[in-house]
Homo-oligomer: A and B are copies of this chain.
Amino acid sequence: MNNRHITIPSGFKAAAVACGIKKSGKHDLAIIAADTDASAAIVTTSNQIFGAPIAWDRQILPKGYGKIRGMVINAGNSNVCTGKQGFCDAKAMAARTAKHLGSKPEKVLVASTGVIGRAMPMANVTAGIDSAAPGLNTKSDHRVVEAISTTDTRYKSAVVQIRLGGKNVTVAGIVKGSGMIAPSLATMIGVITTDAAVAPALLYKLLRQAVRTSFNAVTVDSDQSTSDIVAIFASGCAGAKEVKDGTAECKKFFAAVQEVCDALAFSIAADGEGATRVIEISVTGAHNDKEAQMAAKSVADSPLVKTAVHGADPNWGRIAMALGKSAAKVKAEKLIIKIGGTKIFAKGTGCKCDLKKISEMMKQNVVKIDCELGQGKGKFTALTCDLSREYISINADYTT
C-alpha cells in the first residue's frame, strides 16, 4: 500500500509541507481536497473553551454537515484562546486554500493543533498553503499524517475496502492524538475519506454513531481538548449507487466507517502519552447503555486503575471502587469482574484465582477488563492506556 491512505478513495488529493510552524522543521501543514464538492460531516469537541478553527467550521456547517471542497490542517499552533484575530486567521486560512481550489472560503474546513494562546504565524501559514496547493496529489503518505501530528510517536491511519452495489468502495482515515506539544493540550484530529456516494445528512448520522463507540470511547487522561474534530468526506467517485438510510448497503458502509474509526481510536489509546499498554474496559449488564458508558469511563479515567495496570497488579478493588463511584447503578453482590478473561471478583468478594498468572497476562500489550453489573442489558467498551512516570515527564518537565 506504500503508506497511502486518504487518497486511496477516488476523488481526493492531498499534500503536506513544512512551513516553519513547528520549530522542529517537520511537516506542519496539510491540505486535503476533493476534486469537486463532496458530502461532508463533522463532529467537534464539547469543551466550552474551543479554538477559532472550531468556531469557523461550525459557522460554515451549522448543522454539522453539508458540501465541502477541502480542509486545511496545521500542527504547531492550535489557534485556541487567540481572541478575534484568531478567528480572522482561521477564516483567512480557509480563504487562501479556497482560492487555490477554485472554491469559496465557506467550502473549506480548518483544523489546528499545537501550542495555545499564541497568534498564528500567518506569514508561514500563507506561504505554506501557497506551496502545498500546487503539489496536491493522489499519493498521500506519512508526511500528510506528520503534518497534522504533534508529539504523536506513531503515524496513525486505517483503510477498509468493501464491495458496494458491485463496485469497490474504500473508506480511509488518518488521525493524530494524545500527544501534545507543551504548553498545549492533547488534541484529536481525524479525517476520513470515502468514494461512496452518501448524502451529507446521512453521512453525519453515521459519523456520529461511529464516533460514539470509537473516538468517544477513548480517554487518555480524562482531559478534553479544545480542538477536537473528526471530519468525513464522501466523493461518490467509486461509481456505486447512493447509499440510502436503512438499506443493507448502508449497514455495510457503516460497518466500514466504524471499522476505520475503531482502528484509529485504538491507535490513539496505544499512543497515549507514556502508555506501555492499552486497557479495554467492557461493561455489560448495566441498567442501560448510558450507564454502561459512565461506568466504563469511570474505570478508564481512574488513575488508581491505570497505575495498577501499569504495575501489572490485578487489583480488582480499584476497579470495583471506580465502578462504585460512577453515576451508574452498581451493587457489590451482583458485580462480576474479569481480568484477561479470568473471574477475579464475584458475589461481593474476591475469587480464588492464580493472581500471578493474571499479573503475567497484564504485561501484554492489551489488557481486557470485563465488568458485568447484573442490572440490565446496557453495554459499552472504553479504551484507555496505563499511567506511567513517562506521562508525568511529558507533561511536567516542560517549563514555559
Which A residues lie at the B interface, using CB under 8 A? 46-50, 80-84, 86, 116-118, 182-186, 221-226, 301-304, 307-308, 310-318, 320-325, 329-332, 335, 345, 347-350, 355-356, 359, 386-389, 391-393, 395-400
**A182 CB to closest chain B CB, in angstroms?**
7
Report the bound CA distance from A184 to B321 in whole Å.
10
Query: Which residues of chain B are near A335, meaning CB under 8 Å?
Result: 49
Report the bound CA distance from A307 to B320 in whole Å.
26
Beyond A321-B223, A389-B392, whether A185 also contacts B304 by CB under 8 A is: yes
The chain B residue with its CB closest to the CB of A225 is: B321
B83 and A400: CB pair below 8 A? no
Other-chain residue from B225, B322, B324, B389 in contact with A389 (beta carbon distance below 8 A): B389
Other-chain residue from B86, B226, B395 in contact with A311 (beta carbon distance below 8 A): B395
**A116 CB to closest chain B CB, in angstroms?**
4
Other-chain residue from B49, B310, B331 in contact with A324 (beta carbon distance below 8 A): B49
Query: Could you write out 21 A-B pairs with CB less than 8 Å apart?
Result: A46-B325, A48-B329, A49-B321, A49-B330, A49-B332, A80-B317, A83-B348, A116-B317, A117-B316, A185-B317, A186-B304, A222-B302, A223-B302, A224-B324, A304-B395, A307-B396, A310-B396, A311-B398, A315-B400, A388-B392, A391-B392
- Top 4 A-B pairs, shortest CB-CB distance: A49-B324, A311-B396, A307-B395, A224-B325
Excluding A82-B349, A223-B303, A392-B392, 9 further A-B contacts by CB distance (< 8 Å) are A49-B335, A81-B320, A83-B349, A185-B317, A223-B304, A225-B321, A304-B395, A311-B395, A311-B398
Query: Which residues of chain B are near A345, meaning CB under 8 Å?
Result: 81, 117
Beyond A83-B348, A317-B80, A359-B399, whether A322 also contacts B223 by CB under 8 A is: yes
Report the bound CA distance from A81 to B82 in whole Å.
51
Report the bound CA distance from A317 to B347 in whole Å.
45
- Interface-central residue, A183, A316, A393, by most chain B CB under 10 Å: A183
A182 and B47: CB pair below 8 A? no
Other-chain residue from B83, B184, B222, B322 in contact with A303 (beta carbon distance below 8 A): B222
Report the bound CA distance from A389 to B303 in whole Å.
12
B399 and A388: CB pair below 8 A? no
Query: Which residues of chain B are near A221, meaning CB under 8 Å?
Result: 303-304
Other-chain residue from B186, B317, B400 in contact with A81 (beta carbon distance below 8 A): B317
Query: Which residues of chain B are near A86, meaning CB under 8 Å?
Result: 349
**A335 CB to closest chain B CB, in angstroms?**
8
Report the bound CA distance from A329 to B49 in whole Å.
10
- Interface-central residue, A182, A184, A225, by most chain B CB under 10 Å: A182
A50 and B324: CB pair below 8 A? yes
Report the bound CA distance from A185 to B398 in whole Å.
31
B348 and A47: CB pair below 8 A? no
**A37 CB to closest chain B CB, in angstroms?**
32
Report the bound CA distance from A398 to B317 in whole Å.
14
**A179 CB to closest chain B CB, in angstroms?**
13
The chain B residue with its CB closest to the CB of A392 is: B389
Report the bound CA distance from A81 to B323 in whole Å.
13
**A35 CB to closest chain B CB, in angstroms?**
37
